Structures are given as C-alpha cells and as structure tokens.
Amino acid sequence: MGAAVCAAVDADPDLELVSRVDVGDELRAFADAECDVVVDFTVADAARVTLPWLAMHGIHAVVGTTGLTDDDLASVRSAFGDGSAHCLLAPNFAISAVLMTRFAELAAPFFDTAEIIEYHHDRKIDAPSGTAVDTADRIAVARGDRPWHADPTEHEVYPGARGGTSPGGVHVHAVRMHGMVAHQDVIFGAQGQSLTIRQDSYDRESFMPGVVLACKRIAEHPGVTVGLEHFLDI
C-alpha cells in the first residue's frame, strides 16, 4: 500500500511526493522534507506514535491504518485539537466501498436480517476488516431501536459457523484467501426478498483515487474526520 500511495501521489500533477518513510525510520524526515500532508498506511502500534508527532508539528494526516481503538480515537482527537493540523481516519479509501456502506445505511431500516461477508488476501492479520466493522456499526445506527429477526440457530456443528456478531446484532464473516484483495457483501433479507450490495477491489489501485482526493481536501476539514464520505459530500 505504501508503494502504491507513493506512485499515485507522484503521478498527480497537483501533488508533490517529498518523502518516503517506513516503520522504524526517523519521523524527523517528514519535517525535514517540509511535508504538508502525510499518508499513514502502517499498523496501529506505529500510528499511535506517528499521529501525535504529526499533530505536534502541524502536519495533516491521511490515515488508512485500521485496528485503532476508541481510546486511540480519543487520543487522536486530543492531539489534533488545536486546529493547526487536521486528520482523516478512513477504514477504506475505495470510493465504491464508501458508497457501499452508504447504500447499506439506507437499506437497513427496511429489512429484518443483515449479514456481512468480507473477503481479503491471506496476509491480512486482523478480522473482521475495518470496513466490515464500520459497515456493521453504521447499519446499526441507521436501524435505530428496531430489533433484527431472531437467529434460528440452536447448535453450531462447527463453533463460529455463524460468524462474529457486532454490538448492533449484525453477523460478520471474514474470509482470508489467496488470490483475493478486498471484497465485501452486505446481505439484507425481508419477507420474500433479499438485497445484496457487493463491492470489489481487484487491485490496490482502487484505493488511490480516494487517497489523492483526501490529500487535496484535508486542509478543508478541521480536526479529526472519520470516514472518506465526508470528503465526498454524501
């Protein structure tokens, strides 16, 4: 992802790539290069160090790292609270994925059951994906207090066969498979009908238009923004 981001920024005529920094490198390189925006696609432990440093040095952050907790989010909000630098935290930068989640929010009040199946490559270490978690949470908020239809399962032949259950009652299934990149189905059911919303990222290039857009618009969004949809005005 880091190499793909560098290539996308370098190819855009409105942006200039001034620094490449990997986990373990000195963060001082960002300041030395006079970065306006830093894109962080690392791991949560690295982001916990990098983001406060960027805020302290007045550098905007576009973050695709997942695995950050609610406490981490509170810390990031505090770090970027003085307004000198802004931060975007996005579970997915594919515009098709952002639209998928928005469509799922719109559908949630009208169906009795909802399940999410996410598919990723066999090097992804967390499950479920940040996109699946975000989708499940947004579905629950959009549905409000209406309960889902009761799960009829009384016995799982294989423990975990029904997947994990989000706090909002949405079953989430994670597939890790060689040959996949990033894909997700959101399946809704009601009496006599179902709706499947499918999103596919066949290559890491799918995330780059969103990353480039975020780099260009981050200065317009003070503080901490969660979700690329806010940059798309949807």
Catalytic residues: 120, 124
Angle at 109 between CA 107 and CA 113, to 5 degrees: 80
The length of the chain, given as a count of residues: 234
What type of residue is 54?
Answer: L
User: b/e for 13-29, b at 16 or more Cβ within 10 A?
Assistant: eeeebeeebeeeeebee
Task: For residue 123, give Cα distances in angstroms to 98, 107, 190, 193, 197.
Answer: 23, 32, 35, 36, 25
d(CA 43, CA 193): 40
